[in-house]
Amino acid sequence: MGLMRLYERPANDGMESLLGIIPDLSEIERLPAPQRGQPAIVPETHRSRLEQLNHIGVALSRETDISRLLDTIVMAAKSLTNADGGTLYRATAERTLKFEIVRNDSLGIAMGGSTGVEISFPDVALYDEKGEPVHSNVVAYAYHHDISLNIADAYTQRGFDFSGTRNFDEKTGYRSKSFLTVPMKNHENEIIGVLQLLNATDRVNGAVVPFSPQDQQLAESLASQAAIALTNRLLINQLESLFETFVNVVNTAIDDKSPYTGAHCDRVPLLTMMLAEAVTDCKIGPLKDFSMTEKDRRELRMAGLLHDCGKVTTPVHVVDKATKLQTIYDRIGAIDTRFEVVRRDAEIAMLRAKLDGVPDADRAFEARLAEIHEDREFLRVCNIGGEAMRDQDVERVKQISSKYQWSDVRDAGGNASDFLTANEIENLTIRRGTLTDGERQVINHHIEVTSRMLDALPWPQHLRNVPEYAGGHHERMDGKGYPRGLRREQMSVQARCMGIADIFEALTAVDRPYKKGKTLSESLMILGQFKLNGHIDPDLFDVFMWEKVYLKYARQHLDPRQIDEVDLSKIPGYVPPSI
């Protein structure tokens, strides 16, 4: 068998069994045994490699990116064993081993992992067509038997199929010789992958040599640490993915409650991130030193997704209230019916007057019809809702209610009822929008529920600010907001960003039942007024304008007909940037 040796032993069990020739003692094994009470003598080279292994273990535990983690595992194993090449396979649910990392220094090959270069090699089958375990492939054998394989020379080794290796060498001119294949087991004793190293190189003369037992021990130790680090990172990623998916499910439930606000939970996080990134990029003004890490971005995005989670408790008939008289249906139709009854009564009165010979009965009837039509149209306009309702309009609604006495509905005493009920008068005289004070409190209650829901969750350290960010988007800079009445200095920049995003999205949204989406210039006029009256953060408004966040958002999410020309000189509170 010449120089070929095959060392086979269960991975990480510290025991060696023999398939080929019994190996020579390792460098450590040849050292004289220490006398009782004296420390063992460890060669300096081995000591440095152990220190290197410890440093690698620390680095593996700190790495949060899966691709970089896989890279680190292979590159560290190559460095520890001075190998020319390394490959990392991960076990799949399809019972195969998938190529994740391929490295070869001599051939300049770097594929998979953080390189972005796709690996085109097919997966290694762990089972044949009959469902029997594959033993002819080295990595499959190591997987099935939970064993490390140390092969001195693949060309002379019997019992494994190295035809693929030979074909590769013929095409590239390479000479694949020594192989070290180590299974990777997690804390549950499951094999999650296989690490394979190729062509150990003598550190003195550069010749390809077999992997030593010491190399194998170090590779096994590294594989064990790497498997645990990889499993932990995968578990963390899965938990984060599960949580984010759950958040999206909650948002879907909220959006499905109402067809009118279906995209709000998606758009507010996007606009919040746009503004926060703009603040990070802006190097002038009071916020020029603000910055975010990737952790900060992930935390803010999560808060954006959860900012309206409390709406799961908001009644649909309030959220979807498109007109002032809408409940299950729009009651303006019932009022129209009453007007028809009033019209009928007027026509009956006219006919009776004509029978009695009353002069100009027709003319009086036409005047009465005009008055009825005018009052009906007025109430229809009131029902739509708008930005403001005048005092004289409120008074006219009340006058209409008492003007028309109709006989079809009477109270318990037999007296004709007022034309409008107290509830109808309350709704038709709403000063702004379509919600009564009570209904607005129901809507506003969602942020209190949001805060309670988020405060009750055991947030990990890297997401601890989510409740504050998400729960502050209805606060005002002057302390007149809700639910806590916080002032500007009591709020984070991120929470203030979300406040602006929530308002601007609502102004421009075209899917609200009670209003049309405003144009870009109209929305900025209102937002500028909000800056001046202490509603929103003035510094963030400046960045919103300077960095043209509004235009970037509009081009992505607004109807083109909403994107009109913006005259910055007419925007309240706008100040040009100054260096």
Residues 6+ apart with CB under 8 A from 141: 134, 135, 147, 149, 160
Domain's final residue, options 200, 235, 270 = 235
Instruction: Answer yes or no: do 175 and 95 share one domain.
Output: yes
For residue 25, what pLDDT is reported? 27
The answer as to whether 244 is a domain residue is no
Instruction: Answer yes or no: do 447 and 548 share one domain.
Output: yes
Instruction: Answer yes or no: do 507 and 492 share one domain.
Output: yes
Instruction: Answer yes or no: do 447 and 546 share one domain.
Output: yes
Separation CA 140–CA 123 (nearest Å): 11
Question: Tens digits of per-residue pLDDT, 176-207?
Answer: 999 999 999 988 888 989 999 999 999 899 99
Instruction: Answer yes or no: do 272 and 218 share one domain.
Output: no
For residue 210, what pLDDT is reported? 96
The answer as to whether 35 is a domain residue is no
Instruction: Answer yes or no: do 120 and 136 share one domain.
Output: yes
Question: Tens digits of per-residue pLDDT, 442-493?
Answer: 888 888 888 899 999 899 888 999 999 999 999 999 999 989 999 999 999 9
Residues 6+ apart with CB under 8 A from 121: 99, 102
| H helical segments located in 114-212 | 138-145, 163-172
The answer as to whether 10 is a domain residue is yes
For residue 54, what pLDDT is reported? 67
Instruction: Answer yes or no: do 426 and 502 share one domain.
Output: no
The answer as to whether 576 is a domain residue is no
For residue 413, what pLDDT is reported? 61
Separation CA 354–CA 338 (nearest Å): 24
What angle is formed at CA 213 by the lines to CA 211 and CA 218, rounded to 5 degrees?
Answer: 90
For residue 415, what pLDDT is reported? 67
Instruction: Answer yes or no: do 182 and 101 share one domain.
Output: yes
Separation CA 173–CA 237 (nearest Å): 41
Contact 1, 151 (CB under 8 A): no
Question: Tens digits of per-residue pLDDT, 125-181?
Answer: 999 999 999 999 999 999 999 999 999 999 999 999 999 999 999 999 999 999 999
The answer as to whether 33 is a domain residue is no
The answer as to whether 170 is a domain residue is yes
Range of the domain at 22: 6-27+42-235
The answer as to whether 123 is a domain residue is yes
Instruction: Answer yes or no: do 460 and 420 share one domain.
Output: no
**DSSP secondary structure string for all residues of 467-483:** HHHHHTTT--TBS--SS
Instruction: Answer yes or no: do 160 and 193 share one domain.
Output: yes
Number of compact structural domains in the chain: 3
Question: Tens digits of per-residue pLDDT, 538-558?
Answer: 999 999 999 999 999 999 999
Question: Tens digits of per-residue pLDDT, 68-102?
Answer: 888 888 888 899 899 999 999 999 999 999 999 99
Instruction: Answer yes or no: do 338 and 397 share one domain.
Output: yes
Closest by CA to 196, choosing from 210, 209, 208, 184, is 184
> DSSP 3-state assignment of 92?
coil
Question: Tens digits of per-residue pLDDT, 495-539?
Answer: 999 999 999 999 998 877 667 889 999 999 999 999 999 999 999
CATH number at 515 reads 1.10.3210.10
Instruction: Answer yes or no: do 452 and 521 share one domain.
Output: yes
CATH number at 50 reads 3.30.450.40
**Average pLDDT of the residues of the chain:** 85
Question: Tens digits of per-residue pLDDT, 35-64?
Answer: 444 444 344 465 676 676 667 766 667 767
pLDDT band at 7 (very low <50, low <70, confident <90, very high): very low
pLDDT band at 370 (very low <50, low <70, confident <90, very high): very high
Answer whether residue 15 shows pLDDT above 70: no
The answer as to whether 262 is a domain residue is yes
Domain's final residue, options 167, 202, 235 = 235
Domain's final residue, options 408, 434, 460 = 434
First-to-final CA distance of the chain: 77
